Amino acid sequence: MQFTTAALLTLLGAVSAQKVHVVSVGSTNGTLAFSPDSVTADVGDMLQFQFRGGNHSVAQSNFDNPCSPIADHTNTTGIFSGYQPVAASQAMGMIPTYTVMVAAKTPLWFYCSQAKHCQAGMVMVVNENTAANSSRSLANFKALAKVQTANVAPSTAAGGSASTNTTSGSTSGTDSSSGSTTSSGSDSTTSGSAASAASSAVATGAATTIGVSSSMGLLGVVAAMLML
């Protein structure tokens, strides 16, 4: 028991600076939105997308080409969660999650590639920086998304792969923490793919620090299931 506690404290201490920002994707009553749709994250922080209803995805675009994979317009591969049908997981008492690590302070633009969800406003930004460029706001991104004729999904297997880490944490209070997640890393510039759904995690709620080790690239990726 004492050994277990000491080991846990060591683990938590090692990652205490890393925050996890939880973003809900969709909802049980069909909302076409990311919530929150604007996140400020530091380098090394994690974004955990929790799929709450429907069948959505998280894909990366650039500002100028909403609803279209960033790889179609730049040399960046971008992230893509694939489609995450929540009902299939609910039967097991779990929800899908998709976690990426932020490795740059520059703005990151995301959209849902399902149907016309992007046009409907299912988009978000990480590290919006209107101080650097006032026109590159989330509001303008939404307006631009609204008039796109197509909503294009990235091809599924984007990015490279790296080592697999398994980490674990514990639950306390209303904070969330992960049970065990399997992560697949990524290559250099903003890439990675969610390979497989992995095992359990516990609890819901606010962003917190959890024991996610990372020898990942610019945007490392973790695919996991979260218990309801």
Binding site for Cu ion (CB under 5 A): 56, 112, 114, 117, 122
What are the tokens at 14?
A: 């090692």
Q: In this structure, are residues 184 and 100 in contact, taking their beta carbons and an 8 Å threshold?
A: no
Q: Which is nearer to Cu ion, 57 or 190 (CB)?
A: 57
| Strands lying side by side in the sheet with 108-111 | 38-39, 123-126, 108-111, 59-61
Q: How far is the CB of 90 from Cu ion (least distance, A)?
A: 17
CB of 28 to Cu ion, least distance (A): 14
CA distances from 141 to 84, 162, 168 (A): 24, 32, 37
Nearer to Cu ion, 60 or 181 (CB): 60
CB of 157 to Cu ion, least distance (A): 21
Q: What is the 3-state secondary structure (H, E, C) of 59-109?
A: EEECCCCCCCCHHHCCCCCCCECCCEEHHHHHCCCEEEEEEEECCCCCCEE
* Least distance from Cu ion to the Cβ atom of residue 192, Å: 20
Query: To which H or E segment does residue 126 belong?
Result: strand 123-126
| Token digits of residue 128 | 């919006």
Shortest reach from residue 227's CB to Cu ion, in Å? 23
Give the residue with the Cβ less far from Cu ion, 70 or 86.
86
* Closest CB to Cu ion among residues 95, 122: 122
Burial of 119 (0-12, 13-18, 19+ CB in 10 A): buried
* C-beta closer to Cu ion: residue 153 or 207: 153
